[in-house]
Amino acid sequence: MNASPPPAALPQRVSLVAQTVESLRAHLRAGHWAQRLPAERELCQHLQISRPTVRAALQELEREGLIELTGRTRRGAPVKRVRSAGGLPSRVIATLSPVPLRDMPPTALFMLDTLRDKLTRAGFTMEHRVDPACFSAQPARALEKLLQTLPAAAWVAWGSKEPMQRWFIQRQSPLLVLGSCQPGIPLSSFDVDFHAACRHAGDLLWRKGHRRLAFVMRQDAYDGDVASEQGFREALSRHADAHLTVLRHDGSPAHVSSLVDRALRAPQPPTGFLVLHAAQALTVAMHLLRRNLRLPQDAAVVSRDNEIYLQHTSPVLSRYAIDPDHFTRKLARAVRELAETGTLAPRAIRVIPRLIAGETV
């Protein structure tokens, strides 16, 4: 009788405590907090984790002899500062966002968590930072402070604008833009092909008989939003009888609704609406229904973006969608390449979404 092979080792998921330990090691390796670690509360805010997780990580570092815990004081042990074996570079990858996690849409949270999981399995630690000042028109001071306090092999900017992008180029720090870049910016960017999606939406609405169209976008448009408007205009430019109105809002339901009301009072009000973001698409659809307009008989609404809650509307909103897991797998590969090599050939990586027909067009 043949002997049974030994059981294969099951894959292990690295715990959040282990990720926190590695992150703190990276700080010590870079020479940060040599005399005294920040207080637990500050570490919780810095790493965006709970106090029990911070305490468990600090206790592990104390067992390793890397820090000394004296009462409520956490002090780094300079003579035993951690150095990576063989002088290997940092294994920390940092993501940066202008808004806190609670304000991010569900799909973005899913992708952030999936990215963390995939990078952890590859031996990296991922840290997420929230700093609106880094996304301002003059981000240099905030970015300099951030990079001094966080040693990272690579950065991923969750949406960014030209000032931030140019700062990273001048600093020669590895950055992958999760979004789109201005033309001429020599950085790699990873995004949905919004230009193609909105060009398709323009043709779709025109084929459905809509000649007066509204394009609903935020006032503080990112480069992906600009590409969206270009794609929509490109589609309508092929139809001489198409008329476009652009509604630029501040993101609030009240402002979106007021702009829709103003458009509806026009001598020739729009009957087809392309809305860039899922939350505002829901606002537009509900407001049109409140104005006793039937969807899609009296007006059509298409959302450029998808969120899971849009499938629960009645009528179901028409929208464009990507497979977030497929998107994040490709993103993780690009981030790993950037972290491991320190460079990434400038290219625009785009994922083409598919139309979910829904019931509003």
- pLDDT tops 70 at residue 1: no
What would the two tokens of residue 142 be? 């905030």
- pLDDT tops 90 at residue 196: yes
Cβ atoms within 10 Å of 29's Cβ, excluding its own: 19
Residue pair 176/188 in contact by the 8 Å Cβ criterion? yes
Determine the Cα–Cα distance for residues 118 and 328; give it in Å rounded to an integer. Answer: 9
Of the candidates 214, 236, 238, 218, the one whose C-alpha atom is nearest the C-alpha of residue 226 is 218
* Average pLDDT over every residue of 135-162: 91
- pLDDT tops 60 at residue 6: no
Give the CA angle between residues 248, 223, 132 to the nearest 5°. 85
Q: What is the 3 state secondary structure string of the chain?
A: CCCCCCCCCCCCCCCHHHHHHHHHHHHHHCCCCCCCCCCHHHHHHHHCCCHHHHHHHHHHHHHCCCEEEECCEEEECHHHCCCCHHHCCCCEEEEEECCCHHHCCHHHHHHHHHHHHHHHHCCCEEEEEECHHHHCCCCHHHHHHHHHHCCCCEEEEECCCHHHHHHHHHHCCCEEEECCCCCCCCCEEEEECHHHHHHHHHHHHHHCCCCEEEEEEECCCCHHHHHHHHHHHHHHCCCCCCEEEEEEECCCHHHHHHHHHHHHCCCCCCCEEEECCHHHHHHHHHHHHHCCCCCCCCCEEEECCCCHHHHHCCCCCEEEECCHHHHHHHHHHHHHHHHHHCCCCCCEEEECCEEECCCCC
- pLDDT tops 60 at residue 270: yes
Give the CA angle between residues 298, 300, 301 to the nearest 5°. 140
Residue pair 358/315 in contact by the 8 Å Cβ criterion? yes
Q: Do domains 90-193+326-352 and 194-321 have the same CATH topology?
A: yes
The answer to whether the pTM exceeds 0.85 is: no
Instruction: State CA 349 to chain mean position distance.
Output: 15
pLDDT per residue over 102-142, tens digit each? 999 999 999 999 999 999 988 888 999 999 999 999 999 99
- Which residue has better confidence, 170 or 14? 170
How much of the chain exceeds pLDDT 70, in percent?
A: 88
Looking at residue 90, its amino acid is: S
Give Cα separations from 141 to 136, 137, 288 (angstroms): 11, 11, 45
pLDDT per residue over 236-252, tens digit each? 999 999 999 999 999 99
Instruction: Please tell us whether the domain made up of 90-193+326-352 is placed in CATH 3.40.50.2300.
Output: yes
Determine the Cα–Cα distance for residues 144 and 126; give it in Å rounded to an integer. Answer: 19
- Domain residue spans in the chain? 16-85, 90-193+326-352, 194-321
Superfamily of chain region 194-321: Response regulator (3.40.50.2300)
Amino acid 29: pLDDT: 65
- Which residue has better confidence, 72 or 190? 190
- pLDDT tops 60 at residue 257: yes
Amino acid 282: pLDDT: 97
Amino acid 38: pLDDT: 76
Answer CATH for 16-85 from 1.10.760.10, 1.10.10.10, 1.10.3720.10, 3.40.50.150: 1.10.10.10
